[in-house]
Chain A
Amino acid sequence: MKKLIIIITLASVLITSCSEQFLELEPKDVLNGDNYYKTESQFNEALIGAYAKLQGQVGFYFELSEWRSDYLDLPAPTAGTQDRYNLNKFVDTPTNGIVEDAWANFYNGILRCNLLLENIGAATFADDKKAEIEGEARFIRALTYFNIVRLWGEAPLVLGSLSPEEALEAGRSPIADLYVAIERDLQFAMDNLTNSADLGRVKSNAAKALLGKVLLTQGKYAAAETVLKELLGFYSLTNTIGEVFDTENKSNSEIIFSLRFEASIIDQGHGYWFGIGDLTISPYSNKLENAFTPGDSRFAMVDYLLTSDNEYLPGKYFAVRENNRADNDFIILRYADVLLMLSEAINAQGYQTSGEAYNYMNEVRTRAGLADLTSADLPNQEAFKAAVLEERFKEFPLEGHRWFDLLRFDAVNDQIVGNIIGVSSVPDFRLLYPVPNTEYEKMNNDEIFSQNDGY
C-alpha cells in the first residue's frame, strides 16, 4: 500500500511538473508570422498573396470609378445598393461602406507588399531572384498607391509594417510625396523585371505602362510620352475588340497587365459583372446607351446578351459559368490605353495638325470600324483633347478608367452633369472621396489626419 501511494504521488508530481516547453505552443496548421519571410519559396508565396489581393479590388474599380461616372445611373437604391447610389448621385458621406472597404483593402494589400519588401534584404537566396520578386511587389504597391492618391489625395505613405502605436503617428502625406514613392517603385520594377514572365505576372513593360499613366496624371507629358513609347513594338491591337475580352484568348497581344481569374479553380472565379435579369433595368446611363454611332464595333461590348441561365451580361464580360463562377480577367493596362495615352500626352505638349498623335488614336478607331480623324475634325488642341476623352469613353466602358479619366481631363462637371439623373452639379470637393470616418475617428488627430475639405 505504501508503495502504491509513493508511486501515485511521484507520477502525479511528474505529470504536473511545469516546463516552458509545456507552455510554449505554436500553431501547426497555420504559419507563425514570427518565423516567416525567410526562404525563397516563402517570398514567392507572399508575392502570390500580394497579387491575390488585387483580385478583390475589381469591385472598387467598378464602384469608385464606373459608378461615379457618366456610364452608369442607378435610378433608385435598394437595401443593398444605398452606398452605391450615394456614390452615383454624389451624396456620399465619410461613412460610405464602399469607400471604407476600399481603404481597408488597399492598405491591407500594401502591408502584404511591405512585409515582403522589408524582409527580403535579410534573406539569403540569389540576388537576381530577389530583385525579381521585389520588382513585382513594388509594382503592386505602386499601383495600389496610385489608386489611393487618385481617390483620396493625401494619404498615409506607409512603406513598412507598422505596429498599432506607430500607425497612430502615420498621418496623411502630401500628394507629391506619394507620387515620388510611386515613381521610385515603378522605376525599380522597370529596371529589374524582364518581359518574359508568366502570363499574369508583372513585366518590365507593365511597369512602364503604369509609369506612363502616373506621369500623365501628374501632367508630366514629355516624360510620359518617352516611357510609353518604349512599349511600341511589344504589343499590338487585336483584330477585333471582342478578341481582347475573349475568355478563350486571355494571353492576347493587347494585354499588358490584367488581374487573373479562372472559374475552373475553386475560389478563383468571380460573380457576373454587371449582370441583370431584365433589359428594362439596365444600369447604363442614357449617355452610354446612346453613345455609339452606327458601325462602331465597340457597341457590342456594352450590348447585353442573354446567357443560358437567364442573365443578361455586357458583351465585354460575357461568360459561361463554371462552378457557378465566371472567369473573365480584369484588364488593368492594355495597348489601346497606351495608344490613347500617347495621343493625349503628345497633344498636351502642343497641338499638331497631323502625325503620330492622330496615328495612335486612329489605330484604335480603325479597329473599332470608324473613320480616321484629321485636323479637319479636330482643329485645335482642345478639340483633340476632347476627342481623346470621347474615344476613351467608348473604348473603355466598365473597365475602371472613367472616373480617373474625367479627373485627368478636368471634365467631371462637363461630362456628368445632365447625364446622371439627379446630379445637377459636382462641387470641387467631391473630386476626392472622403477618408473613411472610421479611420478619421481612429486617428483622432486633426493635425496629421484631417478629413478632406467639404465632407
Chain B
Amino acid sequence: MSKLCIYGIVIHISIFTLAFSMDSNAQNKSVEKIDVEIPFENKVSLDQLFTFLDQSLAFKFSHLEQEFDPSAYVVHLDNKQYVLGDLLREVSTKTELSFKRVNENIFVRLKKFGALALTESIDLEVTVSGIVMDETGDPLPGATIRVEGTSEGTVTGIDGYFRLTVPDGFKTIVVSFIGFETQIVDISSIDGVITIELAADVEALEEVVVIGYGTQAKAKLTGSIGEVDIEELNKIQATNFDQALVGKVPGVIVTQTTGQPGSDLNILIRGTGTLNSDNQPLYVVDGVPISSSGQVSEFVNMEDIASIQILKDAASAAIYGSRGSNGVVLITTKTGGYGEKMKINFSHSSSLQRVSKRMDMMNAYEYAQLSKDGHDAAYLQEVPTGSADDPNSVRPIGYHKVPEELIPYINGEAGLTDTDWQDQIFRDALMQRYSLSISGGTMGLTYYVAANHTSQDGIIINSDYQRTGLRSNVEISRNKLIVGVNLSTSLTSENRVNANGPYFDDGIVASALSMSPTWPVNNADGSYNFEGNGAWRIGTDYQHNEILNPVAVANQITNTLDNRNILSNMYVAYEIIEGLSFRSSFAYNYNSYSFEYFRPTELPFRGRNFYLNDSDPNARFSDTDISKWIAQNTLTYEQTFQQHHLTVLAGITAEKSSTATKRIENQIAAGVNTGINPYLLINTPSQLLESNNEFSQWSLYSLFTRVQYDYDDKYLLSVAMRGDASSRFGANNRWGYFPSASVGWRVSQEQFLENVSWLSELKLKASLGLTGNNGIGNYEQFSQIEPDLYVMGNPATQRNGTKPQGVANPDLRWETTRMLNLGVNGDFFDGKLGFTAEYYDSEISDILLDVPVPQTTGFGSARQNIGRVANTGFEASVYTNQKVGQVDISLNANYATNQNEVLALGPENADIIVTNGTGHAYFITRVGEAVGSYFLLVEDGVFESEEELDSYPHAASTRPGDFKFVDVDGDGVIERDDDRAIVGNYVPDFTYAFGSSLGFKGFELSATFQGVYGNEILNLSKRYIANGEGNFNNTTELLNRYRSEADPGDGFTNRANRKSQGDNGRTSTWHIEDGSYLRLQNVYLGYNLPRALLQKINVTSAKIYFSATNLFTWTNYTGYNPEVSQDSQGSLARGLDYGNYPLPKTYTVGINLSF
C-alpha cells in the first residue's frame, strides 16, 4: 500500500468536454497535435525541460512553489521525437506529476491532486473574468469554473485568473477545487473582475482513514472507528498525546489519575471488559503493534502525528485478533510527499503549571484542639470517672494524654509554628517544549525528519521530566517498488517523587496532609526537622502516627527513571500485477528503562525506633530491556468491475518479545558513610547485596484475511477472519479464531434521495465480531516454582528452598468479546451539520479471572477462563460548522453511556469479594451488578444524643457522636458483614464533552469541556486526613464535628476520639463520594500573523497562541482529583483514592512557524 494512498486524497477531477476552435494561435492547438524534438541527451531535469518547452512552444509551464521543485526531478526520456501529449504522459509515468493544459498555460501538479496524467482545455470567448483565491488570499491555479446547468467551463491560470463565456440566460457559475468547498456565484450583477474566495473543505468525503492493515475511504467504513482531530489535539498543552485525547472520542475514557510528569494514562474503550487482565487498548504505530502504552506516548511526539483512529467495535478490531478486545488505537505519523517542496515547521511553547486544587487542612491551633478532644475522648471512655480538664499526670495511659507541645496552641498563644505543609511541597513549575520538523520529497523519495524536546518541572518539589525525540520517515519509490523506513528514538529522564504512596511509605502528599502543622520544616540550624517522626511516641506514647518530613523525603531521596526507545520499521511493497500488491515489513522495537533509587543516611527511617537517627543508606538500581521483533507480510488485491469494488487482504505475521530485568540493591550500616552516592554504595562490600534477574518471553503467530466489497459505493460489506497462536495460551488451546462481518448502506447515494440537496451523507451500518484479550502473564498456564529461604545450623546460615506458586492450567486461553454494533451517521448542508450515533452490545466470555478456589489447593485463587460480562452503550456526537459573516463558528459535543453487568462468574456464580487499600474496603463482583461495586456499611449521619442512640441498632461501643450505620438486613443488630450493601461503583453513567471554536480573520478562539457523571469514588484518604482521631492533621471538615449533644456539629461528622469507637474507622459509605465532574479542559486563543507581513521575512505561516489547560473543575468530590487511581488491582477493585499527585493547571504561550 503506497504512502500516497494512505495519506493522500483520492480525487477524480472531471474535466468537461470543451469545444475548442482551430485558432491560428499555436496555443489553441491541442497538445496531441504539437510535435516537439528534444535536444537533450536521454537524461534531463524537469526545470530544463520546462524551460525548453516554454521557449520553443510558447507554453507557460507553472507549478506551486510550495509543492515541489522541478530541478529535483531528473527523467530518462525514451525518445527524441515526441508529440507533446505523449511526452507529458511519459514524464507523468516516471514521476509523481500530472499536467493540466489550459489555453497557453500548463500547470504541473502532484498526482495526488489529480489522477489523470494529462488533461486539456482550451476556450474561446470571454464574458466573465475573475480571480479565485484561498482564504489567505493566495491565488488558486487550476480551479474549475463551470456555468451552472451547462457543460461550459474553464480552469484558472497560474495567477488564479480565469475568463469564461457564459451563454445567454445563465446567471450562475460553480467554482470548485479539490480540497475546497464548492462555491456557487451569482454573476448577474457582476461587472468587471470578480474575486472568489474558496474555503478549505474540512469534511472532505473522499477522506481516507487508516484501518487495520490498510486504508479505506471514510465514506465506506462499516465499523465503529473514532477519529481524533489532530489540530484540536495540538491545542492542548500536554507532554504526551494521550493527555490530549481526553474527551475527544465518545466511548473512549481517558483518565489522568496523576499529575506526575511523564506518567501514563488509562485509556478505557467501551467499558470494562476484562476483570483481571489488561484493560489497555492495543496501539499500532505506522502499522507496528506496540504492547506498552507508556512507550507509545514517549516515542510518538504530538507534533509528528498525522492521524489517530480508534477502532472501537469488534468488527474493526477483529483483524487484530487476540489483542483487539480493548479496542485498537492506530497512530500514523507524518510523512513527506513525493515532489513536495521542503517545508520546515518549528514550534515552541512555555507553560506555567500550578497545582489545580489545594486541600483545606486545619491550621495548628485547630489541629491542637482536635487532638486534645481526641485524647480526652479516649481517656473518658476508659476512665469514665475522669474529666476532660484532668492534667496529663492523672491520666493513666499514654494515649489518654495530650502532647505537651500542643498545650500552648490550645491556650491560644500567638506566634507559634504553624506550617502549611502543602505550601512546602507544591511549587509553580515551568514547562517548555520545542519541536522542529523538515519534510518534503523529490522524485522517488519522501522524507520527514523531526526532533523534539520537552522539559517539564513538576508541581511537587524535586520532580521533573525531560524528553528528547527524533524521527525519520523516509520512503523511496521506483517503478512498482516502494521501500521505506520509519525510525524513531526517544530518551526520557524523570526525577520522581513518591506522591501516590501512603504516609507510611514515604508518600509525600499523604505525609504533607497528615503531618502536624506544629512542626517546622527546618530546625534553627537549617537541618530538616524530624520531630513528626516519633517525638510523640517516645517516653510517653501519645500514639500519634510517625510521619517523615515530606520536604526532606522529596529532596533527599533520589528516584529517577531513564527511558530509551527505538522503534525501527522497514517495509517493502511491490505491485505484482495491477491491483495486486505485496507488502512485507520487519520492525524492531527496543525499550529500555532504568530506575535508580537512593535513600541517604541523613534521612531517618520512619518510626520511633529510628526517630532522628541516621538510617542505613540504601541504593537500588534496576534495568529492564524489552526487545521485540515483528515480521508482517500482506497481499492486497483491489479490483473494480463496473459498479463492484473489491479489496481482498491476506496476511501472515509473527512476533516475539523478550523482557529482561536486572535488579541490584545494597544497604550498608548507618552513619559512617555520610555523603556516599548510590554507585559507591552498590560497590561497597556487604553481605546485604541483593540481586535478581527476571526474564520472560512471548510469541504470537497469526494468519488473517479480509474481504471488503461494495456495490456502487452504496452497499458495503466487510468480512474478516484472524487466527492467533500464542505462547501465552495453554497447550490445550493454542489457536484462537476471530471472525467478523460488517455491512453498511449509504442511503444518501440512493436515487430517491439524489435531489435532496441538504443531505450530503446518510449511512446505516451494522457489525458483529469476535475479538480476544491475551493480556495474561506470559507463563500463567504453568505452575511455577519460586525461591524461598530458611536458615539452619549454628551459627545459622542461609538454606535455599523453593515454593510452589500457583496452580497450573493447561486449558488457559484468551478472553473472547462478541460485540454487535449498530450505527448511523449523517452529514447535512455540505458539512455544516453532522452527527454520529452508535449502539453496541458486547459480551465478554471466558474471562481470565483469578477465581477464588478453596485454600485446600494451597492457594486462594487460580487463574481460569470463567465468567461473562456484558457492556452495552450508546455513543453520539454532533457537530456544526457555520460561517456567520466573517466569523467561522464550530461546535461539537459527544456523549457516551456504558452499562456494565456481570452475567456469570465462577462455579455457582459465587460473588467475588476483594479488598483494596485496607482490609475492610470491600468490592463485590456479583451476577447482575456492575463489576467491582463497592460493598460497604451504609453510614447515615452521627447519633446526636443518647436518646437517638437507644432508638436504633448500633455497635456495642457506639456513643453519641459516632456514626449511625443502617441496619441493612433489618435484623435489629448492626453486623459488619451482614449489614453491608452494594453502594455504587466506579463506572460513570455517562461521559460527555463539548467544545466550540470561533475563527475571525487570523484569530482562533476555542474552549473544550469534558466530564463524567454518575460514578462513585472510594475516598480512603479520609481514613487519615478526616478520621477525627487527632493523630493526623485533618481537613477542616472536622471543624464541623460533633462535640456534645448541645453542639452536635453538622450531623454528618463524627466526634474526635483517639481510640475511635463505634466502627467510625471502618470503611463505609462515609468514604464514598460522588465522582461526577465537569472540567474546562482547555481554552485556546491563537492568532495567525498576516501573510503579507510574513512573506517579507520568508515565513509561510506563523501563529502565536495562549492556552490554558485544566482551568476549572466543577465537582463535589473533596479529594484533589476526581479521576482516581484505577488499576492497582485490576477491574475488581477500582475507584480508590488513597492520595495522589494532584493535576496541575497549565498556562501556556507558544508559537508555531512554517517556512
- Chain A interface (Cβ < 8 Å from any Cβ of B): 1, 4-5, 8-9, 12-13, 15-18, 22-34, 36, 42, 45-53, 55, 75-79, 82-83, 93-95, 97, 103-104, 107-108, 110-112, 114-115, 156, 158, 161-164, 167-168, 170, 198-201, 250-251, 260-262, 264-268, 276-278, 280-281, 307, 309-311, 321, 323-324, 436-439, 441-444
Contact = CB atoms under 8 A, between A and B. Distances in A.
Given A310-B608, A310-B609, 12 more contacts: A22-B699, A33-B804, A48-B801, A94-B977, A111-B859, A168-B907, A199-B792, A261-B791, A265-B789, A268-B791, A321-B609, A437-B977
Nearest to B779: A27
B631 A15 contact: yes
Nearest to A251: B794
Given A16-B701, A18-B654, A442-B910, A45 B802 contact: yes
B854 A443 contact: yes
Contact of B801 (A46, A156, A162, A309): A46
B167 interface: no
Nearest to A91: B956
Contact of B855 (A5, A47, A161, A439): A439
Contacts of A32: 779, 782-785
Interface size class of B (residues with CB under 8 A): 35 or more
A31 B784 contact: yes
A120 to B, nearest CB: 14
Interface string B849-888: 0011111111110101000000000000000000000000
Interface in B812-844: none
A201 to B, nearest CB: 6
Given A34-B808, A111-B804, A441-B910, A16 B855 contact: no
Given A15-B586, A33-B804, A262 B858 contact: no
A45 B907 CA distance: 35
Interface of B: 378, 381-382, 396-399, 479, 481, 534, 537-541, 543, 572, 574, 582, 584, 586, 605, 608-611, 613, 616, 631-633, 652-654, 656, 667, 687-688, 690, 693-699, 701, 725-727, 731, 734, 778-779, 782-786, 788-805, 807-808, 851-860, 862, 864, 907-908, 910-911, 913, 918-920, 975-977, 1023, 1027, 1059-1061, 1065-1066
A95 B693 CA distance: 38
A33 B783 contact: yes
A58 B795 CA distance: 21
B731 to A, nearest CB: 8
Contacts of B690: 266
A387 B744 CA distance: 91
Given A27-B784, A170-B854, A262 B610 contact: no
B802 A46 contact: yes
Contacts, number: 297
Contacts of A27: 696, 778-779, 782, 784
Contacts of B397: 75, 280-281
B783 A112 contact: no
Given A34-B808, A49-B803, A167 B854 contact: yes
26 contacts: A5-B481, A12-B586, A22-B701, A24-B731, A27-B778, A31-B786, A33-B785, A36-B785, A51-B790, A52-B803, A77-B1059, A93-B975, A111-B857, A156-B854, A164-B853, A164-B854, A164-B857, A168-B853, A170-B854, A201-B792, A260-B796, A265-B796, A276-B541, A281-B397, A281-B543, A307-B609
A167 B800 contact: no
Nearest to B956: A91
B392 to A, nearest CB: 11
Given A5-B574, A76-B378, A97 B798 contact: no
Interface secondary structure of B, over-half rule: mixed
Contact of A164 (B793, B807, B911): B807
A321 B696 CA distance: 37
B751 to A, nearest CB: 46
A33 B920 CA distance: 34
B536 to A, nearest CB: 10
Given A30-B785, A112-B804, A200-B792, A168 B854 contact: yes
Given A12-B633, A16-B652, A309-B610, A108 B855 contact: yes
Which 10 pairs show the lowest CB-CB distances between chains A and B?
A48-B801, A111-B858, A278-B541, A33-B783, A76-B1059, A200-B792, A31-B785, A262-B796, A49-B801, A278-B398
A115 B788 CA distance: 15
B784 A30 contact: yes
A28 B534 CA distance: 45
Nearest to A104: B855
A158 B858 CA distance: 10
B862 A164 contact: yes
Contacts of B605: 324
Nearest to A329: B796
A442 B911 contact: no
A42 B860 contact: no
Nearest to A51: B790
B778 A164 contact: no
Contacts of B382: 75-76
A18 B725 CA distance: 9
B860 A18 contact: no
Contacts of B540: 278, 280
Contacts of A78: 543, 1059-1060, 1065
Contacts of B805: 30
A266 to B, nearest CB: 6
A95 B976 contact: yes
Contacts of B911: 441
A148 to B, nearest CB: 11
B732 to A, nearest CB: 13
Contacts of B908: 444
Nearest to A79: B1065
A436 to B, nearest CB: 8
Contacts of B977: 93-95, 437
Given A200-B793, A309-B613, A16 B1066 contact: no
A112 B803 contact: yes
Nearest to B859: A108
B698 A25 contact: yes
Contacts of B378: 76
A158 B857 CA distance: 9
B701 A438 contact: no
Nearest to A15: B631
Contact of A23 (B584, B652, B726, B784): B726
B808 A277 contact: no
A310 to B, nearest CB: 5
Contacts of A47: 801
Contacts of B782: 26-27, 32-34
Nearest to A21: B699
A9 B631 CA distance: 12
A354 to B, nearest CB: 39
Contacts of A281: 397-399, 541, 543
Contact of B852 (A97, A260, A438): A438
Given A47-B801, A103-B855, A33 B784 contact: yes
Contacts of A443: 854
A108 B861 CA distance: 12
A79 B783 contact: no
Nearest to A76: B1059
Contacts of B788: 48-49, 52-53
A23 B322 CA distance: 15
Contact of A22 (B654, B695, B910, B1061): B654
Contacts of B610: 309
A412 B918 CA distance: 33
Given A30-B786, A280-B397, A164 B864 contact: yes
A162 B605 CA distance: 44
Given A25-B727, A266-B690, A281-B397, A442 B790 contact: no
Contacts of B859: 108, 111
A310 B790 CA distance: 29
Nearest to B542: A278
A52 B801 contact: yes
